[in-house]
Chains A and B, each alone.
Chain A
Amino acid sequence: MAGRAMWRGVLRIGDQRVPVKLYAAAQDRKVHFHLLHDTDQVRVRQHMVDPNSGDAVPGEQITRGFEAEPGVFVLVRREDLDAVKPAESRDVELAQFVDADAIDLAWYERPYYLGPDGDPARYAALAEALRKKKQVGIAHWVMRGKRYAGALRPEGDQLVLVTLRTNDEVIDVSELKPPKGRELDKRERALAEQLISGLAGSFDPSAFRDEHRDRVRELIERKRKGGRVTIKRAPRKAAPSSLADALQKSVKRIHKEQRSA
């Protein structure tokens, strides 16, 4: 199934322009549930009630407000929201480029593929230039009434634009201090190193499957047919008596596995 572009724009770096189409790269595969009323299995709805009287307030009588001081609200009206709406534009401005590892992982939010929109030669040249420079572009654009920032990256021979969170959504982890404690034991550290090297490999995302999703679907199917479900519980893992001991045993086990493999 060929995908449909959800938006068209123009990447702009100084006076260079690259027309692109944007495609959503992420798709949700989770099993979703609805909340039901347990006695009659009807899907519940939500409404707003006055907590003092318990009475539901109909939609047309509801307003939204910002609490400026306790109990004092400034009403937010449709025209206020319209007034702060960014101007529509097709431009995706790329005013800055950084090293690929300069962006902390917490910023990345949602990926989109870009495809060329009529000028494949310029598209391919930009992807190649980013790859050669090992750089990522910081993009700013307005799409469907909302302002976005994103990271423009080469991926194979495609361009990928991953939206970035705003700075009030991300906490600055560099401000966090690590837990304190006595200096690490040299022998334990060497064992941990050995253990981790024994578990080293390369990352292949397709090697991991959401098995839980499959099992939940099986569970639903079993229940649909009227089957019984037995409840199993896992025992809590007990903390090892000695860290050095656990490390030592783990390393031994890994060596054994590797020999027999």
Chain B
Amino acid sequence: MPDDQEQQEQEEGARSPRPFWSGTLSFGLVSIPVDLYPETRHGGIALRTLSKDGVPLARRYYCPDDGKEVDRDHLARGFELDDGSFVVVTDEELESVDPKKSRDIDLRLFVPEQELDPIYFDRPYVLTPGSESTKAYRLLADVMEAEGRAGIATFVMREHEYLVAIVARHGVLRAVVLRFADEVRSPKQLGLARAAEPSPELVRTFERAIAKHSVARFPADELDDERTAALRKLLEKKLKSKKDVLEAPEEAATSAQAAQAEIIDLMEVLKRSLREGDAGKQPARARPAKRARKRG
């Protein structure tokens, strides 16, 4: 089932220079203010929806009863009952269901990293220090990385509970959202039978085939989006030959440009945020203009 709310948030999240979530990361009585940023971005070519005159269009909500536009302040969140009616639930109510968990990732278990199974991996995030003191952040990252351990916790972000594994790489803390156990089917549930006992000869045949194709490094450069590259080429050809090229009317062009400017480079935000802690954040929140620079 498509989730309007989620779609809306994901679209915003990908473009926002602000963290996806801010809170604390705790182990024992130590709590570290952190900001959480996505580690993934939208691939492919961003296409705009246009009128036939080339005016970039905007997506708006409307009420099918009167056809009138509904602005954000008049949107409510509803859970659909079997009879088609809705139970309206507010943000405050949802947050109050588990208020502590929506502020804190409390690591109460540290497991060997190799025990994390990719079948559970859902989405990766980077954690950056949320305060100017980075000592506790660096301490946790250092110990976890040296021991190859991942911290496990559940926490609430944007009205959903997430199971996360926190891992450290090169001194940077990362969070992988994991699927809950009941979100991964078991082979048994799917009726997959236990595999037959393999014949040693056949196993050796496959071992040789694997050895023959074994490479030392993960071939990341071969994981490119060929379709997007082909589409880009095709569009460039059309642009050159002036086929299917539409120019937006002047007053509409400026709004298109403004939208373009909002798209920021995630990598730059992350670098700045790691370098400067909280100070690297975009001025989206009010904060004192002057601040003593103290580093832990």
Contacts and interface: CB of A to CB of B under 8 A. Distances in A.
B271 A231 contact: no
Contacts of B147: 193, 196
A261 interface: no
A78 to B, nearest CB: 12
B110 to A, nearest CB: 5
B116 interface: yes
Max count, chain B CB within 10 A of own CB: residue among A30, A49, A71: A71
A212 B187 contact: no
Q: Binding site of A, secondary structure by majority: helix, strand, loop or mixed? A: mixed
A209 to B, nearest CB: 7
A136 B47 CA distance: 36
Contacts of B89: 33, 216, 219-220, 223
Please indicate which of the listed interface residues A61, A123, A126 has the most CB atoms of chain B within 10 Å of its own CB. Answer: A126
B178 A205 contact: yes
A86 interface: yes
Contacts of B64: 42-45
Contacts of B109: 199-201, 203
Interface in B119-139: 119-121, 124, 126, 128-129, 131, 133-139
B245 to A, nearest CB: 6
B157 to A, nearest CB: 10
B170 A105 contact: no
A210 B50 CA distance: 42
A125 B213 contact: no
A29 B101 CA distance: 19
Contact of B217 (A51, A98, A153): A98
Given A23-B192, A171-B266, A233-B99, A195 B207 contact: no
Interface in A84-119: 84-86, 94-98, 101-109, 111, 113, 115-116
B181 A73 contact: no
Given A51-B255, A66-B45, A72 B245 contact: yes
B143 A102 contact: no
Interface residues of B, number: 191
Contact of B119 (A43, A155, A165, A243): A155
B111 A132 contact: no
B15 interface: no
Contacts of B245: 68, 72-75
Contacts of A66: 45-48, 235
B79 A14 contact: no
A245 to B, nearest CB: 8
Nearest to A168: B43
Given A167-B224, A177-B271, A237-B103, A80 B207 contact: no
B75 A171 contact: no
Contacts of B267: 171, 175
A173 B174 contact: yes
A67 B260 contact: yes
A70 B69 CA distance: 28
Name which of A3, A68, A178 has the most chain B CB atoms within 10 A of its CB. Answer: A178
A39 interface: yes
A32 B1 contact: yes
B248 A31 contact: no
Nearest to B137: A179
B230 to A, nearest CB: 4
B93 interface: yes
B27 interface: yes
Contact of A232 (B99, B231, B247): B99
B52 A179 contact: no
B264 interface: no
Contacts of A33: 3-5, 77-79, 89
A256 interface: no
A80 B235 contact: yes
Given A1-B189, A13-B210, A36-B76, 19 more contacts: A25-B184, A26-B179, A35-B5, A35-B77, A41-B76, A65-B47, A71-B248, A73-B247, A84-B227, A84-B230, A94-B213, A97-B214, A120-B195, A129-B209, A184-B135, A201-B109, A203-B116, A239-B133, A247-B30
10 contacts: A39-B74, A64-B48, A66-B48, A71-B257, A83-B230, A120-B195, A158-B187, A180-B275, A212-B154, A233-B99
Task: Give the 6 A-B residue pairs with the shortest CB-CB distance, closest first.
Answer: A250-B28, A178-B171, A2-B191, A71-B253, A212-B161, A129-B206
